[in-house]
Chains A and B, each alone.
Chain A
């Protein structure tokens, strides 16, 4: 019995201790959390898993109708439905990473207060759930894409498709970072939890989601959008799937820098808060 697992608990706080090994040991828990997210969402519904398809489809149609049809936004030659399906898919992915993670501590206080497990498993599983949701939406998009490619309306960059996971990773890390920063702060300041849903909605409008970036032309408005770290990955995604997107390397680099900074800061804050949040929440 000499190889006992040793845990040392001290009152001293370290700023950065990323215990990824421990998170990895709990990978089965991450899988279960992810499964649960899906199992619970569609339990006791008539259509069941059909909703995974229906949800984004309805949203995409609505956007296509409101922004493409009524507002008549120019999607630079891309068929409306396809354009908005892509937009909702990528934005839903990012926004659910932020929104779900923003409530990590407050929503799980009951569980966190009774037993210890690496808290980071919850945000990680949230990102994975969002990725699965996104993959399902991609199937829908591919369905439409086949039709539109056949009639020659779009020309995707097939060779770049392997980059889609990179886009997801980029947005996933960023969403996780922002989400856990908010969740760490909401343990003390509850108002942030309410603000975040609202904030994410506003954020969508300063990201080229319901309109293409090319619509803005050159100017201060476009600069603002380019600084927004979500813009570049979204445009990259469009470039890959729809064959049209505006990529500027310096801004892509900037976006990555912001992403990593946010993630590192978020994890630092998260680690600090997770030790004592039970006393304040």
Chain B
């Protein structure tokens, strides 16, 4: 297809989306009316605090900061980026859930948006009733749903439960049914936000191939947001990388994944955590990680037989017992590779600083770039692990230039762990056993 004959499916120009930070609105109707009335008369807003700079009143945040993008018909576009980069906001604008603060969007064709599967599903209603409801919400008429009902039930694999209230469904069945409805929409554009994260492997595969089919054979446009680079690879033929509300890359999928992976990379041998905020899932941060450092190195590139010598510094904020440390190693596209565990390091009172140096063997790692996460944990009274300290974004690279066998290692196909070469226990030629008489 030549560039000219391609029909535009979605066009965004100068799209911005602003969110207000903190408390929304002055809080009282009276206050808002006063401000509004003052604005109408062109007077000064009586509710602005004196001495405050007007621009600072109500701090704002640009979730999308000037997006220009053209998507053509039949393209499967992947959207990747770190959390908060604006991916979901973009999908929300496209599915008309919320309006842009600035800019124009043109959409040619009907949109089926799956920001969530099973929107409008009600537990009291049967699977069939919910298919009608969900289909209608997504813009199908009853006649259209009737015509597709068989296909939907067939695809969903929940035929025997279709007349059972969905509150009795397992979560997998629920998702399967919901996805089936959305996948059978007669829309020209499909928008999805990681809805495939649930459901079993076989069904995920089925969904992906259904979407690929939609893009390739039926000429539908697919927009797909995911943190799972493998599904992006499988589904998309073009990919954009979002960073802080802007498109930083647009083009080939592999290149985009590289750009995304490298955007996180830094080659420093020292990471200072003392100013970093604890993640919200860490309920009780008893330990504050201060810094992590590679000892005796001026770059983070290691030889495969060279151990990682790392120095950790931390501060105990509360009394802790038998603290353990887990060092998780992940590939740059976020798939877990392996972990190191250090058990029962210490017991301590609060407000003590510690320093520890570890030596990590990396022989099992294939030649690639990696990221690390550090998790301190202790056992609670029931013997469960409770996370009490965290750090991330420490990177290193294994380059085994002197090991020629490793040079051809393909991490995408073979994985990131290099098992020790098997020892050949015996080897012989079995010419005589090859002619057993058939029974």
Contact = CB atoms under 8 A, between A and B. Distances in A.
Interface residues of B, number: 49
B136 A32 contact: yes
Given A4-B188, A36-B133, A114-B116, A11 B98 contact: no
A43 B124 contact: yes
A226 B99 CA distance: 42
A115 B97 contact: yes
A280 B24 contact: yes
A29 interface: yes
A274 to B, nearest CB: 9
B106 interface: yes
A10 B109 contact: no
A279 interface: yes
A9 B92 contact: no
Interface stretch (B137-145, B395-403, B414-422): B137-145
Contacts of A205: none
Interface in B104-142: 104-111, 113, 115-116, 119-120, 122, 124-125, 129, 132-133, 136-142
A124 B139 CA distance: 17
Given A4-B188, A278-B97, A9 B107 contact: yes
Contacts of B110: 5
Contact of A6 (B95, B107, B115, B122): B107
B93 A278 contact: no
A4 B108 contact: yes
A26 interface: yes
A182 to B, nearest CB: 12
Interface in B40-79: 73
Interface string A178-195: 000000010011000000
Given A26-B139, A111-B119, A280 B124 contact: no
Contacts of A28: 136, 140-142
B106 A8 contact: yes
Given A7-B107, A9-B104, A1 B98 contact: no
A278 B20 CA distance: 12
A116 interface: yes
Contact of B97 (A10, A25, A112, A189): A112
Given A36-B122, A111-B137, A117-B139, A5 B109 contact: yes
A279 B188 contact: no
B245 interface: no
A116 B95 contact: yes
A26 B140 CA distance: 8
A44 B167 CA distance: 13
Contact of A278 (B92, B119, B140): B92
Contacts of B24: 188, 279-280
Contacts of A55: none
A80 B412 CA distance: 82
A258 B277 CA distance: 55
A112 B32 CA distance: 25
Contacts of A201: none
Nearest to B109: A4
Contact of A9 (B73, B99, B119): B99
Interface string A247-281: 00000000000000000000000000001101110
B251 to A, nearest CB: 25
B102 interface: yes
A278 B19 CA distance: 11
A48 interface: no
B228 interface: no
Contacts of A146: none
Interface string B199-218: 00000000000000000000
A42 to B, nearest CB: 10
Nearest to A117: B137
A139 interface: no
B115 A114 contact: yes
A44 B104 CA distance: 48
B338 interface: no
Interface residues of A, number: 37
Given A36-B125, A278-B92, A279-B19, A113 B97 contact: yes
Interface in B134-173: 136-142
A69 to B, nearest CB: 39
A115 B105 contact: no
A271 to B, nearest CB: 11
A44 B123 CA distance: 12
Q: Which of B92, B93, B99 has the most CB of A within 10 A?
A: B99
Contacts of B103: 10-11
Contact of B113 (A6, A7, A39, A115): A115
Contact of A11 (B73, B100, B122): B100
A50 interface: no
Contacts of B20: 279
A280 to B, nearest CB: 5
A40 interface: yes
Nearest to A35: B129
A31 B145 CA distance: 14
Q: Which of B73, B97, B125 has the most CB of A within 10 A?
A: B97
B392 interface: no
A112 B120 CA distance: 9
A189 B110 CA distance: 34
A111 to B, nearest CB: 5
Interface string A151-167: 00000000000000000
Contact of B98 (A40, A110, A111, A278): A278
Contacts of A117: 137-139
A5 B106 CA distance: 11
A7 B96 contact: yes
Nearest to B15: A11
Interface of A: 1, 4-11, 13, 25-26, 28-29, 31-32, 36, 39-40, 43-44, 110-117, 185, 188-189, 275-276, 278-280
Given A8-B105, A9-B93, 10 more contacts: A4-B7, A5-B188, A7-B105, A9-B105, A39-B129, A111-B137, A114-B115, A185-B29, A276-B99, A278-B92
Interface of B: 7, 16, 19-20, 24-25, 28-29, 32, 73, 92-93, 95-111, 113, 115-116, 119-120, 122, 124-125, 129, 132-133, 136-142, 188, 219
21 contacts: A4-B7, A4-B109, A5-B109, A8-B105, A9-B96, A9-B99, A10-B100, A10-B105, A26-B136, A39-B124, A39-B129, A44-B124, A113-B97, A114-B97, A115-B97, A115-B119, A275-B99, A278-B92, A278-B97, A278-B98, A280-B24
